[in-house]
Structure 1
Amino acid sequence: MKFFFGIEHEVAFLNKEGKFADFSHTKFADFQQIVERLPTYPNDYIQLRVGDAGIKKKRWYIEGFERFADSDKPIDCLPKGIEIRTTIHSNIEAAISELSESFRLLCEVATDFGFSPVLTSFNPYNQIFEPQPPLNDYEIRQLQAYPDEQTANIYMVTYGPDLNISVADLSIERVIDIGRKLTYYSPYIVPFSYSSPFYEGNLWDGLSVRTFIRTGKRPAALVFVQEQKQLINSVPSLTKIARISAEVGRIEFKAFDSCDDFSIYAALLALLKGLIIDETLSGRATIPDASLHQISAKEGFENEDIMTNAKKVLQASEVALGNDPDIQLLTPLKVLLAKRKTKSHELIEIFQRVGSIEGALRQTYQV
């Protein structure tokens, strides 16, 4: 099996006043000045989609909610942060290496404008996104045409990665089956990444607000297909038409929280790779089990069912990888399971010690 890997990683920031920089008091131009200073790589365009609004011209772009007047020409974009995306790589280390370098460049430029990156997977203050001014008729019609777009109120307050994997020469039926498999096992593997224990300015009663609110309404995995007839009708979507040829057959795993230690992304990509090779795990689901994700979000590995199945999945992935060198990348996940701890536990401890969310967030991304 020949694998290809890519990562999309959303970065949140504190502004120069030390406040969380979201759509409520940050303008598109505040983040755009950062993106403008970052380099362009012309050879990327075969692999990276630019999009209709032209916002996605680089490896970095502003993640946000585009506003329209009465045509498909955007007039504004309400920002939530800056997304980094890697090009496509034939091995995991190369994807992580590019992500690390892109993140380093982003930090350098952002600092010049008074922004510092912080790790969170859910907006710690605003739990709801309400576009101001309210949506006009044209925007409402556009959103109604695309069911997944109607959850903008969720994606504008969540931060998380897309871990992208494709395998050469697999039939689309096989790729969709893998998407269903990853959707089924999602509640057991997402705790490896948990990093959103804050909600409405305080500690939340659990480990991942993002998972609790998001997964079920939004997909756990998304499979890109070539033709309309290959689409499976489901809400949230399991399948989507590829927008550029490089996307055909790609599996995006979307349910993890964000990580500030990129070796965890390497571990998670290795875990997903093993699950794709594995032929022993039989669970399949077209849509994520929302209630099981909520149990997972509250309790993580402290829940015996989640813990037992996480072990089983990790073991199956390890066995499937066999003598593949990527098996070494799984080590951090074994450590997390043995300790039954997540990044959220660490953030909670820091918050209890320093007494503020910003104080806790400032201690993320420590190299």
Structure 2
Amino acid sequence: MTFFFGIEHEVAFLNQAGKFADFENTKFADFSQIVERLPTYPNDYAHLRVGDAGIKKKRWYIEGFERFADSDKVIDCLPKGIEIRTTIHSDIQGAINELSASFLLLRDVAADYGFSPVLTSFNPYKPVFEPEPPLNDYEIRRRQASPEKQTANIPMLTYGPDLNISRAGLSYEGLIDIGRKLTYYSPYIIPFSYSSPFYQGSLWQGLSVRTFVRTGKRPAAMVFVEKPEQLIKTVPSLTKIARLSAEVGRIEFKAFDSCDDFSLYAALLALLKGLVLDEYLAGRATIPDATLHQISAKAGFNNEEISLVANQVLTAAEIALKDDPDRDLLIMLKEKLRQQETPSQQLIQGYQELGSIEAAMQQTYLNT
């Protein structure tokens, strides 16, 4: 029973002036000088996609909104942050160790240019992203290619991970079934990660602006299949054609908020592993329930239904993992659920004690 794991983690920054660095006050070149100084690992390319624009040549790349003239040649990229992605690992701890090492390298180099990483999962000041100049005819046509391209303005405001998991020997039907299971249970498990309590420069009345705005329009889970006939047509997408052989059979869970404690990612990957193995949970959904995600985003585990089903899911994952050592990673989640705790509560407390969003965010990543 072979599993494989990978993590894609988006990093937000404060700039030298102590302001939140985003597409309005930061240029591609500001982040590019950081990425240029980070190492290249030639053996990564079997694992990691470079992409059409050539921006994704390393384990670190600039996450942003690509601009085009009248062809598929990228002429600019409006940045929002830097993404770290790991290679594929056969154990959870291997992926966590690589993410941690890559993050420390990024933090050290970014400091030389006045940038410091901070935790948030939604832009704390901007409620919308409108490309300037407006999209041209070619870009408008290009955005019709998929449901995700049509909503590409949303990720410019959000920061979140893709937690990637695959299990050898799954049929594509089995793969899609797991994607539907994760989509159904998404609103019950994502509060473990909530870290976006700020909106338009102040506290939001909830725990995850990212979830409230994003999920429903964007996928909770995505599965990568090998052949076009294996795709199922949904809005947002649940299936996608693998772009390199290492992606075939991959399940990407996309609905968690970002975490500054990478041991929490380890626990969440163990939870996903348990859900892949589970044979008892019956819930399935092809598209995310936007209303339920919004209830979850507001109340988290303080909502009785969210808390109740989260407990059922944790129990099912524990049973499925049996004597697997990864079962111990779920202890952290059980404790967070017992205390109805999410990372947003620390951010809210920091804001209330220190009086500013930036000061609260500067209290993050301290133990990473």
Fold match (TM-score > 0.5): yes
Spell out, residue by residue over 1:267-290, the C-alpha distance to the aligned partner (whole angstroms, 9 max, x if none).
000000001101010100000000
Q: Is 2:180 the partner of 1:180?
A: yes
Q: Alpha carbon RMSD of aligned pairs, Å?
A: 0.5
Matched, 1:329 2:301: no
Instruction: Report what 1:163 is aligned to.
Output: 163
The match for 2:98 is 98
Aligned match of 2:59: 59
Runs of 4+ in 1 over 6 A off after TM superposition: none
Q: Name the stretch that deviates more: 198-207 or 142-151.
A: 142-151
Unmatched runs of 5 consecutive residues or more in structure 2: none
Partner of 1:267: 267
Q: Given the two structures, how large is their TM-score scaled by the length of structure 1?
A: 0.99
CA distance in 1, matches of 2:247, 2:98: 19
Q: Secondary structure at the match of 1:67?
A: strand
Residue in structure 1 matched with residue 31 of structure 2 by the alignment: 31
Distance across 2 between alignment mates of 1:141 and 1:171: 34
User: In the TM superposition, what is the alpha-carbon distance from 1:334 to its structure 2 partner?
Assistant: 1.0
- 1:202 match: 202
Equivalent AA in structure 2 for residue 2 of structure 1 = T
Give the aligned partner of residue 227 of structure 1: 227
Once the two structures are TM-superposed, the CA of residue 335 in structure 1 deviates from its matched residue by 1.3
- The alpha carbon displacement at 1:152 in A equals 1.5
1:71-90 superposed matches below 5 A: 71-90=71-90
User: Which residue identity lines up with residue 133 of structure 2 in the other structure?
Assistant: P
Alignment of 1:87-166 (within 5 A): 87-166=87-166
Q: Distance in 1 between matches of 2:335 and 2:153?
A: 35
2:279 aligned residue: 279
SS in 1 for 2:232: coil
CA distance in 2, matches of 1:42, 1:68: 28
Number of residue pairs the alignment of both structures matches: 367
Any idea what SS the aligned residue of 1:152 has?
Answer: coil
- Give 1:87's aligned amino acid: T
- Give the corresponding residue for 1:303: 303
Compute the displacement of 1:145 (Å): 2.2
Show the counterpart of 1:293.
293
> Aligned runs of 1:8-19 on 2, under 5 Å?
8-19=8-19
| Structure 2 CA distance for aligned equivalents of residues 323 and 226 of structure 1 | 33
Deviations along 1:292-334, whole A, 9 cap, x unmatched?
Answer: 0000000000000000000000010011100000011111111
Q: Aligned-pair distance for 1:160?
A: 0.2
Q: Distance in 2 between matches of 1:125 and 1:57?
A: 30
Q: Distance in 2 between matches of 1:51 and 1:8?
A: 15
Q: Which residue of 2 aligns with 1:351?
A: 351
TM-score normalized with structure 2 length: 0.99
Shift of 1:146: 2.2
